[in-house]
Chain A
Amino acid sequence: MITIVDYQMGNLRSVQKAIEHVGGEAKISSDPHEIATASQLVLPGVGAFGDAMAEINRRDLAQPIRDFVDTGRPFLGICLGLQLLFEQGFEHGTHRGLGILPGEVVRFDLPESFKVPHMGWNTVHKTAPSAILDQIADDTHFYFVHSYYVRPADPSLTSLTCNYGHDFCAMVTRDQLFATQFHPEKSQANGLNLLRAFNNLASATESQSHSS
């Protein structure tokens, strides 16, 4: 069972439906205990960084999310759910993030010919292995919509890059923690493959714990 964190920022139903489509089960929750003890967690999100942190803090969810990540169980952040993992963001002022990963979230500063938000289907390039990318070919398209991007302080966190004016981090991986700037739930077959691989981690983890 995958638990999707509900903090009133964005379209949870799409994420839930996509997980169900690839054979998983997903529930939506804003309960701190359920989140801390979930077997797999998805942190989705669209909207502004500061508003999102305010909603997470108002529901006392920051520590449960950190506690969950500390257990090493499979975690997937999507879009704003990637950005919030970092130490600080600069969207409408300076805001502290969850601080799970070192680095910051900055706005695209590009020549006029580049539209911001970066919106649409762009290709990604693999830079480091990640357990949920086995079925994903290099240079495939994913759907992006964002004006800010993450700059991990530790470059080895980056497993996919994307180019828009310059290369930026499109996905981070650290053990069982994964987070994408693009929306797998809106990226048709490629996105569903990624979600299927994430869902399959659970069965792997669960059967391991049963056998041990």
Chain B
Amino acid sequence: MLAARVIPCLDVHGGRVVKGTNFVNLRDAGDPVQVASRYEAEGADELVFLDITASHEERDIILDVVRRTADCVFMPLTVGGGVRTIEDVRDLLNAGCDKVSINSAACKDPEFIRRAADRFGSQCIVVNIDPKRVQKDGQEFWEVHIHGGRTPTGRQAVQWAREVEALGAGEIVLTSMDADGTCDGFDLPITAAVSQAVSIPVVASGGAGNPQHLADAILKGHASAALAASIFHFGQYSIAETKRVMRQAGIPVRL
């Protein structure tokens, strides 16, 4: 039976794993290769590196991190952050990553998704969607934001999810800007709405504070996978104990 995936996300800045709130108060959480190896030993199903530097001058740092990780960690690796061109995608795949996630560049130029999927295959093109609940004409509107939630795009999350699927994306990582960093749980209504609107896998992201939250993302949010960062980085919960909670909730996991 296909297992629900548990995916630790590593924010990488200057070649180190960091964790902070809204890009401030960054705390050092270790060497990416060491952290990745620890997660592999704990039974992580995939790893996501988010390059939060994402300035083109520092591009080589993330490529080096990916290369060194891919040399000793044998599970799927996804890299996101600052992916703007076909060359960026190619460089990351050549460095050893399996999937590349695109966010701002996809919002600005949706055809970029199609070009990347045509060139490298849908299976390696992930689109990040970051919705935020806003009021529009007196009604709640799930507006997609870019630049870490600072810039509204006018796009509606469910509609945009359908569009990126049609353009050839192979997976969606959905990060609710309202839930992100709260540790109060994933935004289940948005996750469920997006998961049920598309036929490609959706990864729930943003808000995980305990293992039950990940179980809820699968059971109530209908996500295929759940991504979390801080609950794993500082040893609050291990991946194995998270999966045991999920299994107890009746979710197929790989233990």
Contact = CB atoms under 8 A, between A and B. Distances in A.
Contacts of A128: none
Interface residues of A, number: 34
A102 interface: no
B40 A188 contact: yes
Interface in B55-109: 70-72, 74-76, 93-98
Contacts of B40: 188
Contacts of A121: 2-3, 5, 45, 254
B217 to A, nearest CB: 14
A48 B119 CA distance: 9
Nearest to B71: A17
A31 B45 CA distance: 35
Choose among A11, A121, A164 the residue with the greatest number of B CB atoms under 10 Å from its CB: A121
Given A11-B98, A123-B1, A115 B75 contact: no
A186 B98 CA distance: 9
Interface residues of B, number: 32
Contacts of A21: 72, 74
Interface in A33-59: 46-48
B121 A192 contact: no
B225 interface: yes
Contacts of A129: none
Interface stretch (A67-75, A81-89, A138-146): A138-146
A145 B123 contact: yes
Contacts of B120: 46-47
A66 B41 CA distance: 39
A14 B96 contact: yes
Is chain A's binding surface mostly helix, strand, loop or mixed? mixed
A105 to B, nearest CB: 15
A143 B96 contact: no
Nearest to A191: B74
Given A117-B122, A145-B123, 6 more contacts: A14-B70, A17-B96, A115-B224, A116-B199, A123-B1, A186-B76
The 3 closest A-B pairs by CB, nearest first: A47-B121, A141-B254, A121-B3
Interface of B: 1-5, 40, 45, 70-72, 74-76, 93-98, 120-124, 170-171, 199-201, 224-225, 254
Interface of A: 10-11, 13-14, 17-18, 21, 46-48, 112, 115-123, 141, 143, 145-147, 163-164, 183, 185-188, 191-192
29 contacts: A10-B93, A10-B121, A11-B96, A14-B96, A14-B98, A17-B96, A21-B72, A46-B124, A47-B121, A115-B200, A115-B201, A115-B224, A116-B200, A117-B123, A117-B171, A119-B123, A119-B170, A119-B224, A120-B3, A120-B45, A120-B201, A120-B224, A123-B1, A145-B170, A164-B2, A186-B75, A186-B76, A187-B75, A192-B74
